[in-house]
Structure 1
C-alpha cells in the first residue's frame, strides 16, 4: 500500500479547519498569544514543582481558558499541535477543562486554615 505524499504547505493544516477563512488577527499577535500560553504552562509547572498545587491548578486552568480564546482567534497552522479537532470542539473542551480547574482551585480550602 502506497501513501500519497503530503503536498508542501499542508502538513500543519488541520483537516477540520480547511474551509474556515484566515484569521483577521495579525500573525505576530497570534504568536504573542501562544507565547503567553506557554509562559502560563511553564509557570504552572514551577508552582507544581515547588508544592504550590493550588496556584499551579489555577494557573493551568487560566492557561487553558486562554487557549480557548486563542483557538477562536488564531489560525490552525499557527497553533500547530494545539489545534486537535474542530475549532468548536477545541474551544468547548478548553473552556470546560480550564473552568473546572479554576473552580477546583478556588473551591478547595487551604490546608492551613
Structure 2
C-alpha cells in the first residue's frame, strides 16, 4: 500500500513547481493560512447572497490577495487545487484579480448613502 500512495502522491504534484524549494513554514501554519482564505471566501459568498455586493467584492478581493501570499509561501502539495499553474503565474493572476476587485469595491459610490 505505501508504494501505491507514493505513486499517487507523485502523480498529484504540480509539474510547474518541481524546482521550488520547500516552504519555510510548518505544514500546520500553511493549512491555517488556507483556512483563513476559505473563511474570507465563505464570508464573501454570504455577503453576496444577502445583497451586500460591495462588502462581498471587497472580501473576495482581499481573499485573492491573501491567496497570492499563500501561493508565494506554501508548498504546492498543501495548496492542492489552488496551485494551478506555475507559482509566478498564479501569484500574478491572483494579485491582479484581487487588486481589481478591491479597487472596484472601494471606488464605486454606494448608492443611497449620500
| Residue 45 of structure 2 is aligned to residue 30 of structure 1 | no
Q: Which runs of 5+ in 1 are unaligned?
A: 1-5
Paired residue for 1:8?
A: 8
Paired residue for 2:104?
A: 104
Paired residue for 1:74?
A: 74
Paired residue for 2:46?
A: 46
Instruction: Output the CA distance in 2 between the equivalents of 1:86 and 1:28.
Output: 23
Paired residue for 1:3?
A: none
Give the drift of 1:11.
3.0
Instruction: Let me know the Cα RMSD of the aligned residues.
Output: 1.1
Paired residue for 2:95?
A: 95
**Secondary structure of the corresponding residue to residue 88 of structure 2:** helix
Which runs of structure 1 show a deviation greater than 2 angstroms over 4 or more consecutive aligned residues? none
| Matched residue count | 108
Q: Which runs of 5+ in 2 are unaligned?
A: 1-5
**Secondary structure of the corresponding residue to residue 109 of structure 1:** coil
Instruction: Output the CA distance in 1 between the equivalents of 2:64 and 2:11.
Output: 25
Instruction: Output the CA distance in 2 between the equivalents of 1:20 and 1:107.
Output: 37
TM-score, normalisation: structure 1: 0.93
TM-score, normalisation: structure 2: 0.92
